[in-house]
Amino acid sequence: MLRALGVFAVKNHQQHSKIQLTGLPAIFFEEAYFPLITQWTIFVIILILNAALASAIAILLGRKHPAPGRNVMQWMLAGLAVWAFGYAMITVFPSVEAKIFWLRIENLGILTVPAFWFLFTVQYAQMDKWLNKYTAVFFFVIPFISLMLIFSDRWFHLYYSFVRPVSETGGPLAVESGPWYLVAAIQAYALNLTGTGVLIWRFISYRNLYRKQLVILVAAVLIPLLVNVFYQFSPKIIPALSVSVDLTPISFTLTAFLLSIGVFGLRLFDLIPIARHTVLEHIPEMVFVVDAHDRVLDANSVAQKVLGKSLDEIIGKDPLEVFREWPQLINRFLTANETHEEIQISGDPPRTLELTVSALYNQFKQLEGRVIVAHDVTEHKWLENDLKYANEVLSNQLDEINKLRADLEEQAIRDPLTNAYNRRYLAEFLDNEIARAERENTPVSVVVMDVDNFKQFNDIYGHKCGDVVLQGITNFLNEHSRRGDVVCRYGGEEFVILMPHVSLEVGFERAEMWRQDFSESVIDYEGMKLSATFSAGVATFPQHGATGDAILQAADHALYKSKDAGKNRVMVYGH
């Protein structure tokens, strides 16, 4: 997502359809509409003003005495004017066809600005001995190819694969980059970074009264690049902070305007006026400059407003006096030359400041001062805390929903009286175990048991007593069965125990052991000690059947033989 420093693009991860290019319309102004108040009005006005300012400065520069880089600066400002005006027209016009037309016009400036910027820096730094008309043309080869692709309906997709308005209410275009876009992006960033590096080197080489301010001022040149980098990568790295509108044209045009004043108006890189307007006045955070003796040298308008002090009440004063109500701030920048942290400022309500202290050293590595940038992130912190709270609430609700879902799923397969598995779970589990045993060639034993004379408990002591007996035998079976065994209430007083990987002999031995132990146990009911017995039948896969139903029927048949033989006994199917 580049839309400055020579390249334009806006990423959008939603689904879009491609726009079919049909050529350039004859007249676009007939399609334009200019509502008095829209969400884009201020944005468009600023862009048009930037275009007008860049054009005016380019004209004025032509009247000044020749200076290294002056002509190239004029071309660069002209490109910025085309760029800003084209961006404004893209925002204004409603139809996609008109927007594409102005997108093409805009790229005349976008793609050439990095080359002009680089040529200006090497000329002004007098590092242009190698520069001539042939070497200069080399830097415009990629922009020329890019423009050929953009102005061609047939090859347009190689630079922009699709375009659409950024929102349903109009505004700038959202475009997807094509394969050639990366080539243009690499050149644009390379030229801008190299040119900025040349300018920084030139600043450092100067030794004058304002030497210690120059390091800060050079940083202002990086503003458009940093804005563009943030605009490009924030949706991938920090989506919550990403914006859908590119502010790079505004920041870069303003920087170029202020830089031209310093370079050609003051001539000796006396950039103090630019520092006041660019680094300080056009930064929305509080900015303070202190010298090596901790005297406040400068503060921008934001800092003055927050402190409630005029510039005269701040400059030259002791920080202890200036920041009397902010002791936390004093503790940080008086005890550390460089730091980046958050501090709490007392008040009603308390404020949170993101504090950055940067030290300024001279060529002998001696401290000459510090720049303090304080960004009020209180509302961001409030929002962050609200989001954390909302996330915790949502997380708790999701946990509760998941728990309820798990409870419902468990209830669907459990007998409500005994909490043993029900027939629904038995059928599913038995089929799965038979299928696995068939694959692995292992046995599965099934025990079907029935409480002897169960009706007597209900008739003598009541149905509540019968429920206690059923719960008692369930608890007994759960305690005496293996972890992998499954205890199911098959219906009434009848239970089924599934024992995977258990042979017929072992299954019979366990069932017999359960019978003996249960007959010797007691069940407490309203102070009475009751005892019960059960009869059981055992069957095993694959000896007694090839399916789950066949095994259950075999075990059930063995159970009835136990009942007929006198109850309180275990019998194996077929014996």
Return the pLDDT at 379.
Answer: 80
The CATH number assigned to the domain with range 423-572 reads 3.30.70.270
Give the start-to-end residue ranges of the domains of the chain: 1-12+31-282, 284-376, 423-572
Domain 284-376: CATH superfamily, name plus number: PAS domain (3.30.450.20)
Residue ranges of E strands in 209-338: 286-291, 296-299
Which pLDDT value is given to residue 293? 77
pLDDT in tens, 210-235: 443 344 345 445 666 777 777 666 66
Q: Which residue has the higher pLDDT, 473 or 23?
A: 473
A 10 A CB-CB count for 130 gives 7
Residue 195 has pLDDT above 70, yes or no: yes
pLDDT for residue 505 is more than 90: yes
Contact indicator for 57, 35 with CB cutoff of 8 Å: no
CATH of 1-12+31-282, one of 3.30.565, 1.10.150, 1.20.1070, 1.20.950: 1.20.1070
- Check residue 74 and give its pLDDT: 86
The structure tokens listed for 376 are 């009020």
Mean pLDDT along residues 97-112: 91
pLDDT band of 9, cuts 50, 70, 90: very low
Q: Residue 545 — left, alpha, or beta (φ > 0 → left; ψ -120 to 50 → alpha)?
A: left
CB-count exposure of residue 313 (10 Å: 0-12, 13-18, 19+):
middle
**What's the rounded mean pLDDT across residues 534-550?**
93
Confidence at residue 442, expressed as pLDDT on a 0 to 100 scale: 94
At 566 the three-state DSSP class reads coil
The pTM is what? Answer: 0.43
443 three-class SS: coil
* Three-state secondary structure call for residue 415: coil
Q: CA nearest 110: which of 205, 48, 184, 35?
A: 184
Please write the tens of the pLDDT for every residue from 261-298.
554 544 433 333 333 444 566 677 888 888 777 788 77
Q: What are phi and psi of 549, to 5 degrees?
A: -60, -40
Q: What is the mean pLDDT of residues 187-209?
A: 72
247 vs 56 pLDDT, higher one: 56
User: Of 362, 221, 205, 192, which is closest to residue 268 (Cα–Cα)?
Assistant: 205
